[in-house]
Amino acid sequence: MSKTAYPEQWRKPPQIIKNSVWRWTLSILCLAYLWIAIGSVDINWLRIYEGLERAQRFIAGFLQPDFSTRWRDISAGMIESLTMTLTSTVVGIALAIPVGLGAARNLSPTWVYMICRAFIALSRSLQEIIVAIFFVALFGFGAFAGFLTLTFATIGFIGKLLAEEIEGIDPTPIEAIQATGASWLQRVNYAIQPQVLPRLLGLCLYRLDINFRESAVIGIVGAGGIGATLNTSLSRYEYDSAGAILLLIITIVMLSEYASGYLRKYVK
């Protein structure tokens, strides 16, 4: 049986503010601000009551989903969401890999690092629905705007996490291969790729899940996918059809989660 070393005596963690007067003063001020902030929220109890009544109807429709009435629209929207998700994820990952390599401080020149980091910061600072509104205004309603939105978000997400993973790898293999006179591409292929591939695969599968969920959100603003069908069902108070759409979304996300877990285990 292995023995675990425990500290002989418990030590109290260090306090950020050691002065008790300042500590209590800041605590009281934070509580007072929280109380004022909650009081400033405009709460309409009549609207809450009406919302609870609508929630009961929605839950009743969710428990009795209707797949048949709007099945043609649901199936078309679901296929469009899946197509948009897969294509944007693949294209986004293909573009994110060079961006991530360029954004790694230990691998790229300073000017390349600054450009790639600036692009990643721009991509991550804009929420998907805002980007979707922008692309819908440029290219009109449809799946193309959604494809561009999800691709843009994927580049920032994968690029940032890949760059951080590269910056945290063991530098010994890189130095050993570099000592043999290997080129930059050979260093990436033989020293960096084996260390980051399992993590990269997990990130790609996770981003695939995110893109599918986001495809339902950006569809509400006209960027294609199942979100438009869901928005139409909710606006018409067809809660049974909306429940059917949500059940399909939940089912697909759960299946992709199980598949991604199996693939990550297989790669490791």
pLDDT digits (tens, 9 = 90+) for 69-123: 778 888 888 888 888 989 999 999 999 999 998 888 887 888 988 999 999 999 8
pLDDT on residue 157: 92
Percent of the chain with pLDDT over 70: 91
pLDDT mean over 9-34: 79
Task: Write down the pLDDT at residue 29.
Answer: 92
Q: What is the mean pLDDT of the chain?
A: 82
* pLDDT score recorded for residue 1: 47
State residue 44's pLDDT score. Answer: 76
End-to-end CA distance of the chain: 27
Q: Which residues does 49 contact at the CB level (< 8 Å), separation at least 6?
A: none
- Out of 3.40.1190.20, 1.10.3720.10, 3.30.230.70, 3.40.30.10, the CATH code matching 71-267 is 1.10.3720.10
Rounded mean pLDDT, 246-253: 84
Residue among 183, 135, 187, 131 at smallest CA distance from 157: 131
Contacts for 203-207 with beta carbons within 8 Å, 24 or more apart? Answer: 203/157, 203/158, 203/161, 203/162, 204/89, 204/93, 204/158, 205/256, 205/259, 205/260, 205/263, 205/264, 206/260, 207/89, 207/92, 207/93, 207/154, 207/157, 207/158
pLDDT band, residue 253 (cuts 50/70/90): confident
